[in-house]
Amino acid sequence: MLKIKKYLGFLCLISSFSLSGFGQDSQIKGYIFSAKDSLPIQGAIIKMDNYSSKTDETGRFTLMAVNGKHQLSVHHLTYLARQIEVTIPLAIELRIYLTESVEMLKDVVVVSTGYQTIPKERATGSFTQIDNQLLNRTPGSNVISRLADIVPGLTFNRNIGATENSISIRGLSTINSNAEPLIVLNNFPYSGDINSINPNDIESISVLKDAAATSIWGARAGNGVIVITTKQGTTGKVKISFALNGTIGSKPDLFARPSMSVADYIETEKNLFSKGYFSGAENSDNKPALTPAVDLLIALRDHTMDPVLAETKLEALKQIDTRSQVTEYLIQNSFLSQHSLNLSGGSAVNSYFLGMGYDMDRMNSIGNSSSRISFSASHNYQIINNKLELSTKLSFSQLKTRLKQLEQSISYPYAQLRDEQGSALPVVRDYRRAFIDQAQQKGLLNWEYRPLEELNLDVGDTNIANDSRVQLGLTYKPFDGFSAILLYQTARVNSNNQRLFSQESYYTRNLINYISAIAADGSILRPIPLGGIMDLENRISKTNHLRAQLVYNKTWGINSLNLIGGAEISEEEITGQTSRFYGYDKETGAFQVVDYSKNYTSYVNPSSTNNPIRNLDKLTGLDERFISYYSNAAYSLKGLYILSASARFDQSNLFGVATNQKGVPLWSTGLGWLVSGEGFYRSNWLPYLKLRMTYGLSGNVNKSLSAYTTARYIPGTLSRVKLASAQIINPPNPNLRWERNQIFNLGIDFATAAKRISGNLEWYSKKGFDLIGTIPYMPSSGFNSFTGNTANLLTQGLDMTINTKNIQTALNWNSSFIFSYAKDKVTHYEYFESATSYLNTGAYGGITPLQGNALYGIYSYRWAGLDPLNGDPQGYLNDTPTKDYGNIISSANPQNIIYHGAARPVIFGSFRNDFSYRGFTLSTNISYRLGYYFRRESIQYNDNLGLGGHGDYYQRWQNTGDENRTHIPSMPLSPNSDRDQFYKFSEILVSRGDHIRLQDIKLSYKNKLTNSRKIALSNLELFVYANNLGIIWQANRFGIDPDYNYAKLPFAVSAGLKLDFN
Amino acid sequence: MKNNLLILIVIIGLTAGCAKSFLDKKPDQSLVVPTTATDLQSLLDNLDVNNTAPAISQIASDEFYMDASDLQFFTKTEKGAYTWQKDLYEGGFSGEWNGLYKQVFYANLVLWQSKNLQPSPELDRIKGSAYFYRAWAYYHLGQLYAKAFDQNALDQQTSLPLRTSPEIDQQPPVATIGSLYKLINTDLDQAEVLLSTTTTYKNRPSRQSAYGLRSRVRLLMGDYYGAAASCSAYLTLNNELIDFNTLTPSAARPLPPVLENKNPEGLFYSQLLSYSFLSSPLLKIDPELYQLYESDDLRKTCFFRDRGNGIITYKGSYTGTTSFFAGIATDEILLTRAECRIRNNQIQEGLADLNLLRKNRINKNTFVPINPVAGEDLLLMVLKERKRELIARGTRWVDLRRLNKEPQFAKVISRQLGQKTYLLEPNGAGYVFPVPGSETNPTVK
């Protein structure tokens, strides 16, 4: 604080310096007006020689001057600078007209919090506003994915274990609770599938980051808020807009991950076979599948096949590669097409917007596709002399997805899917070839798996999600500055998944056969009847929100006050049901009853006698309720000083807590100072400078915990006695509280003259406390850990955006540089787990926090190189190199394993350049992610000589001296799982993930047309866009994409067209 | 303006007024704060929690053996228990300790919550069950983590916290041998009164199973008259046995499963905690024990599988799965009574019990009742029968501990692993498993 004061004092000193002139002869006076509407311009800086002045609210200025000819310059943030020659003394007062700079002709930037809209100039909090144009720069069909690389502080998590499109705003705020930001669509939280929203209907997105911005959202805002606002009608002539685009994505490269060749795979199988490796499986009562090569080797050993023939067949197998087969027959180029039609217009008293969209997505796996139909309408009416406004918003979308995913079910690398005649070939899957042949002879169903045949069958999931929303708003403005708003929204999302396996499908045949039995008379008894198997899953989510809000805006003299306050009640009710039907007949819808209470004997292994028929019946009912009160106030003095405050009180039906303990009060406060508006501020190179500071609390709800002992019912279908049972999931915790985040934010907004360089810089510190964490507890209590408000997390960071206008001639060149730094650290966590848990952080979705480190960390065992004698990997025990892997692993603990750093980028951002010439624009985006680590894959020998393992196999140590060129261990003489484990998690396989990526290039052409006809084409836009262009630089020298590992991102090209009619 | 304020006040008033009931809605249908009798019964019907018994003691017993070359594939706990190591818990956790104390917590919670419920026959059954489960858990805890019962050392401290309430933040007293068995016995007193005589679901205890558990407790306390009385109380209610002559020994699992109500002998279902060690085909029966089965003993084929090369593995159990049965069954009760009667010098009665069991176990074409000649050690005979019948039931450990007190039955168990020989002397330190580190020092692993 003291530092800031000093700095301000220094600023005053500089600016007052210019006031002390000498030899003043005369004074000139004048006014500055806008050239457009002749309104006075306040805040323009006038400079002449060593003197400067600033216009007041009437546009008036006075300036000391020495007689003679002088150059007088006028600067203003949003107007083009002017220079004129004046001769002093002047007889009249000067009147100077300024032209607005082109960018500034646009409306004032307004951010939406979901409760109100605030002009950016008046905000104290941290907001990022993404307008329609920037949002439409990329053509993806998912709104959230379009936010990549354009919002400072917002990052996509791509570390191991992260789900698709998982995002974080300013790092992490929670450990064990939901970590995704709150998404708000048209004033209310959105809990549907984000893919249901048509990006073409969206007008703008505001990302709320600090406490001042988010605390209005209270207990659900701890991870940041993304406020999506759809398009509204505009008064005036009807406008029609049509857009069409298509994206082609290449087939995934299945060869991107290096692996053991097919020939070596078969040779290794031979080797293993000679050592008896497969004899366990061969003699197992479960008759597990053996690969075709092993079957041939058995035939060769047992002399049941001509040895020459067997060898020929083995050699022939080496020529097949499953990956080529899959590439040829089971995957395809993806193709996405999007169509949208928008209509808007209105009169003085009403306005409307209609949007329609149709998207079709053919995915990479053949048979997988999705489509979306969307419809949205919004309407505003002004009634009773503009005192009452009625607004309605209706939307409907249907998302239909079909999934087959066959290619994942082939487990060996030389499966041939089709013969020369084009018929589908069987692939070995669960059981041995000889066994399934025998079973078929005895009358069981054919037990072969033919992937290509499955393609043409009724197999897989069909998911239809219908999302409908109705919003009604009533705004009453009895007098100027005051309004009362009533908003109601009801939404219903019905998601229906049908998973059908027709009788011909492998899935169904396998299930039926597994518990079939042969009766004494040779007939087949089938507890699971013939016919298809149909799984139905239906989920209905109903949400209702009601909000009553009062708004009061008043400006008197130099004061201006903006107040809102309201109450909100909301409920989200989800009911779900799952059921399975056996013996399903698609034609008639008929199905058959099975006996779930019986245990059947496996046909495969007669000693397995406890095999009930799988019952999927399940009912779920969830109901989440909130009552909230909120208020936000902003007071501004002279338009220079802004004081904001907001408070919110949430209550929910958080399980089992007494009502008076359920609530959590959250608040924030902020200060803004428009330094450049001060009289003393005369810098004409930086005409806009604003400082902001906010502090406050936002929260996070964890629904999985309760203050009371809670139990979960387990349906009787899962019990051997068929009785419903219950399981304690939560010990009593009367002190349970909601998680809170204390956020401090400091920001500077700046712009040079005519906004040649503009941007902002923000520093923040986010302290998560009372976070839900787990501590060990003595197991004699009945629980070996206790989960409660036990953890703290600190995230500090920096967000920066700099926009520059590099060239402004016929050729325009604009750049936008985004820089984000977000470093999280677990500051309090009492639980220590085994070293293995830390090494595996994220691998199974779970996090293992370690106090003092990043929440998602990369850990490893210390590496001491390969043993030059035999290529064994070496580690350390008490600083001495060793090969005692068992001991290295068992003595590893959180203190002696290496912590490299975060598994998620600490620094990230992008650098976008737009070049435009006439109607053409070329835009490129380069993204970077720095300061993090990832673990590389390598060969694991397991107990099978590395069968089918990673291609590092070929770089392995084979002879003394190899240790100088490779770190890949030799093949061990006998299986050693500890050796594999040590190497897998050793230091040598950890690399820096830092990289710079050329994300995309877009070339677009835009032509504004003028035409006198009533409805005519007014605007034409065309574009081509290429995505995932590749990595420009990366810190690891292995050519591995640290974010996608070997799943190389498919290259995608799009082209599109947009037509506007007026 | 006034009107608007009024509207606001009304809205806030309305929401605040209905807030309480609005917010009392459960957020998840499947979640409950267990309060009703149905909730409590459902907690007790959780088989994973309440119908399990410790298995490391089975690993540490003398019924099976594992070759050194095979042993390497198993976990630290399995290897450690097999060779009676002090340091055997992976990450400081013991499945037995956690599992048994979880049973204690469930039972304590049920008893605590049932205080608020109206008395009813159903509630009596629930409370009786909870007392039974708590006795069951402490009985097993006593066999693992405390020294064998000794009438002369009742004041001896154990390491077992004696928890009788579900308040997890309470620091309970540590049990002495005396207070531990006192709690077990008073819980069984309650269970015997409150439980109904029979039950349709074999996972639920009945009065009969309480008599069964009581006979185990009295037997190890050396109260042979009391044990015999409990057995008689049990057998009066039901003494049906399975005639092994009706089974198909060649079947993969010849023994009928208890839980599915197909086994008239099994009265209360419990199974040993799962360890891959115990379900492994590499686990072989001790040859000395296998020798005890006569050639016409049907158990020889119903219990075991001959895998060739002299390798005999265990295949059958009353669970109907690869898990070992650890519940209460009539065969055990009959054998306990036989032993007690012989010890109490009721030779003929004891012999009748023994012969009744054997009649149902030996090939009916060759069965001859035992008719002792003078000087024959009948007690040894009944103990041998006990070994034959109760293999893989988790009871051997308790028998070893109690019989070690009698020099003529004391046994040294040895394991030969490569060059190394491990010995467990009678009453040796290996008969008490160490308390896991997670209990003594929960923050440090």
The per-residue pLDDT for A953 is 94
For residue range A37-51, list pLDDT tens digits in order. Answer: 788 888 888 888 878
Out of A971-975, B186-190, B342-346, pick the least confident.
A971-975
pLDDT band of residue B7 (cuts 50, 70, 90) is low
C-alpha dihedral over A850, A854, A856, A860, to 10 degrees?
-70
Domains recognised in chain B with CATH numbers: 3-243+327-440 (1.25.40.390)
| C-alpha–C-alpha distance, residues A582 and A600, integer Å | 16
Amino acid at B41: Q
Question: Do residues A715 and A617 touch, judged by C-beta distance below 8 A?
Answer: yes
Q: Which residue has the higher pLDDT, B391 or A38?
A: B391
For chain A, what percent of residues have pLDDT higher than 90?
58
* Per-window interface: A 520-549 vs B, CB < 8 A: 548
pLDDT exceeds cutoff 60 at A505? yes
Strands A725-730 and A710-714 turn out to be antiparallel
Amino acid at A44: A
Strands A60-65 and A94-98 turn out to be unpaired
pLDDT band of residue A416 (cuts 50, 70, 90) is very high
Radius of gyration of chain A (CA): 34
Contact A623 B25 (CB under 8 A): yes
List the alpha helices (DSSP H) in B292-365: 299-303, 330-343, 347-359
Cis check: omega of the bond before A199, within 30 degrees of 0: no
The per-residue pLDDT for A731 is 85
pLDDT exceeds cutoff 90 at A71? no
pLDDT exceeds cutoff 90 at A58? no
| Distance from the Cα of residue A362 to its chain's centroid | 22
The per-residue pLDDT for B18 is 58
Question: Do residues B257 and B324 touch, judged by C-beta distance below 8 A?
Answer: no
Question: Which residues are within 8 A (CB) of B376 and not within 5 positions of it... i.e. 6 or more apart?
Answer: none
Q: Which residues of A844-871 are buried (b: 16+ CB within 10 A; e: fewer)?
A: eeebbbbeebbbbbbbbbbbbebbeeeb
Q: Which helix (H) or strand (E) holds A301?
A: helix A292-301
pLDDT exceeds cutoff 70 at A909? yes
- Residue of B121, B63, B32 whose CA lies nearest to B283: B63
The per-residue pLDDT for A1011 is 62
- Residue of A46, A215, A118, A194 whose CA lies nearest to A745: A215
For residue range B96-110, list pLDDT tens digits in order. Answer: 999 999 999 999 999
CA angle A787, A789, A795 (to 5 degrees): 115
Contact B101 A833 (CB under 8 A): no
Grouping H, G, I as helix, E, B as strand and the rest as coil, residue B341 is helix
Over range B144-156, report the average pLDDT. 94
For residue range A237-293, list pLDDT tens digits in order. Answer: 889 999 999 999 999 999 988 999 999 999 999 999 998 888 878 888 889 999 999
Beta strand spans in A276-387 (E): 334-346, 350-362, 369-383
Give A829's contacts in chain B (Cβ within 8 Å).
Answer: none
The per-residue pLDDT for A26 is 76
Chain B nearest C-alpha distance from A667 (Å): 19
| C-alpha–C-alpha distance, residues B351 and B343, integer Å | 11
The per-residue pLDDT for B408 is 92
Give B102's contacts in chain A (Cβ within 8 Å).
Answer: 782-783
Over range A898-918, report the average pLDDT. 95
pLDDT band of residue B10 (cuts 50, 70, 90) is low
| C-alpha–C-alpha distance, residues A975 and A868, integer Å | 20
Beta strand spans in A638-736 (E): 641-652, 664-674, 688-700, 710-714, 725-730
Contact A728 B444 (CB under 8 A): no
Question: Do residues A166 and A157 touch, judged by C-beta distance below 8 A?
Answer: yes
pLDDT exceeds cutoff 80 at B286? yes
pLDDT exceeds cutoff 80 at A998? yes
Over range B224-243, report the average pLDDT. 96
Closest Cβ–Cβ partner in A607, A653, A720 for B253 = A607
Contact B11 A567 (CB under 8 A): yes
Amino acid at B338: A
The per-residue pLDDT for A734 is 77
Q: Which helix (H) or strand (E) holds B415?
A: strand B413-417
Out of A3-17, A889-903, B295-309, B389-403, pick the least confident.
A3-17
Strand partners, A40: A33
The per-residue pLDDT for A59 is 87
Out of A675-684, A807-816, A900-909, A937-946, pick the least confident.
A675-684
* Per-window interface: A 888-927 vs B, CB < 8 A: 890, 893
The per-residue pLDDT for A658 is 57
Question: Which residues are within 8 A (CB) of A65 and not within 5 positions of it... i.e. 6 or more apart?
Answer: A24, A25, A26, A27, A28, A48, A49, A51, A88, A89
Closest Cβ–Cβ partner in A606, A711, A779 for B439 = A779
The per-residue pLDDT for B224 is 97
Question: Do residues A239 and A345 touch, judged by C-beta distance below 8 A?
Answer: yes
Chain B nearest C-alpha distance from A696 (Å): 25
Burial of A875 (0-12, 13-18, 19+ CB in 10 A): buried
pLDDT band of residue A103 (cuts 50, 70, 90) is low
The per-residue pLDDT for A755 is 83
The per-residue pLDDT for A986 is 95
pLDDT band of residue A694 (cuts 50, 70, 90) is very high
Tell me which long-range contacts B277-282 makes (C-beta under 8 A, separation of at least 24): B277/B59, B277/B66, B277/B74, B277/B75, B277/B78, B277/B82, B278/B55, B278/B58, B278/B59, B278/B324, B279/B322, B279/B323, B280/B66, B280/B70, B280/B74, B281/B307, B281/B313, B282/B66, B282/B67, B282/B70, B282/B73
pLDDT band of residue A1021 (cuts 50, 70, 90) is very high
pLDDT exceeds cutoff 80 at A834? no
pLDDT exceeds cutoff 70 at A842? no
pLDDT band of residue A14 (cuts 50, 70, 90) is very low
pLDDT exceeds cutoff 70 at A761? yes
| C-alpha–C-alpha distance, residues B413 and A45, integer Å | 99
The per-residue pLDDT for A39 is 82
pLDDT exceeds cutoff 50 at A664? yes
Closest Cβ–Cβ partner in A655, A659, A731 for B20 = A659
Say how many Å lie between the first and final Cα of chain A, rounded.
55
Q: Which residue has the tokens 């190179």?
A: A685
The answer to whether A280 contacts chain B (CB < 8 Å) is no
Look at chain A and count its residues.
1062
Out of A18-32, A88-102, B195-209, B365-379, pick the least confident.
A18-32
Look at chain B and count its residues.
445
Interhelix angle A307-317/A292-301, rounded to 10 degrees, is 160
Q: Which residue of B has its CA nearest to A830?
A: B443
Question: Do residues B184 and B135 touch, judged by C-beta distance below 8 A?
Answer: yes
Q: How many A/B residue pairs have CB atoms within 8 Å?
A: 209
| C-alpha–C-alpha distance, residues A870 and A29, integer Å | 92
| C-alpha–C-alpha distance, residues A219 and A649, integer Å | 8
The answer to whether A488 contacts chain B (CB < 8 Å) is no
Q: Which residue has the higher pLDDT, A87 or A186?
A: A186
Q: Which residue has the higher pLDDT, A234 or A550?
A: A550
Amino acid at A259: S
| C-alpha–C-alpha distance, residues A537 and A906, integer Å | 40
pLDDT exceeds cutoff 60 at A107? no
For residue range A138-181, list pLDDT tens digits in order. Answer: 988 889 999 999 999 999 988 877 777 789 999 988 888 888 89
pLDDT band of residue B444 (cuts 50, 70, 90) is very low
CA angle A279, A280, A284 (to 5 degrees): 115
Burial of A35 (0-12, 13-18, 19+ CB in 10 A): middle
Burial of A221 (0-12, 13-18, 19+ CB in 10 A): buried
Interface test with A, best of B30, B304, B318 (most A CBs within 10 A): B30
Report DSSP letters for A502-520, one per residue.
-TTSHHHHHHHHHT-EE-T
Question: Which residues are within 8 A (CB) of B127 and not within 5 positions of it... i.e. 6 or more apart?
Answer: B110, B111, B114, B190, B194
pLDDT band of residue A660 (cuts 50, 70, 90) is very low
pLDDT exceeds cutoff 70 at A4? no
Report DSSP letters for A57-116, one per residue.
TTSEEEEEE-SEEEEEEEE-SSB--EEEEEEES-SS-EEEEEPBPGGGGSPPPEEE-SS-
Beta strand spans in A777-886 (E): 785-808, 811-828, 857-860, 875-877, 880-882
| C-alpha–C-alpha distance, residues A249 and A529, integer Å | 43
pLDDT exceeds cutoff 70 at A9? no
The per-residue pLDDT for B418 is 85
| C-alpha–C-alpha distance, residues B89 and B445, integer Å | 11
The per-residue pLDDT for B241 is 96
The per-residue pLDDT for A104 is 45
The per-residue pLDDT for A680 is 87
pLDDT exceeds cutoff 50 at A16? no
The per-residue pLDDT for A18 is 38
The answer to whether A92 contacts chain B (CB < 8 Å) is no
pLDDT band of residue A79 (cuts 50, 70, 90) is confident
Over range A218-228, report the average pLDDT. 89
pLDDT exceeds cutoff 60 at B279? yes
Contact B23 A625 (CB under 8 A): yes
The per-residue pLDDT for A30 is 87
Over range A717-734, report the average pLDDT. 85
Token pair of A1042 as six digits: 């640290």
- Residue of B98, B392, B93, B84 whose CA lies nearest to A782: B98
Token pair of A795 as six digits: 């995230």
- Residue of B89, B112, B185, B103 whose CA lies nearest to B445: B89
pLDDT band of residue A1007 (cuts 50, 70, 90) is confident
| C-alpha–C-alpha distance, residues A926 and A942, integer Å | 41
pLDDT exceeds cutoff 50 at B338? yes
Contact B29 A621 (CB under 8 A): yes
The whole-chain average pLDDT of chain A stands at 88
Q: Which residue of A has its CA nearest to B41?
A: A725
pLDDT exceeds cutoff 70 at A203? yes
The per-residue pLDDT for A12 is 37
pLDDT exceeds cutoff 50 at A15? no
Contact B106 A728 (CB under 8 A): yes
Over range A785-799, report the average pLDDT. 91
The whole-chain average pLDDT of chain B stands at 91
Question: Do residues A353 and A233 touch, judged by C-beta distance below 8 A?
Answer: yes
The per-residue pLDDT for B442 is 65
pLDDT band of residue A846 (cuts 50, 70, 90) is low
Give B76's contacts in chain A (Cβ within 8 Å).
Answer: 890
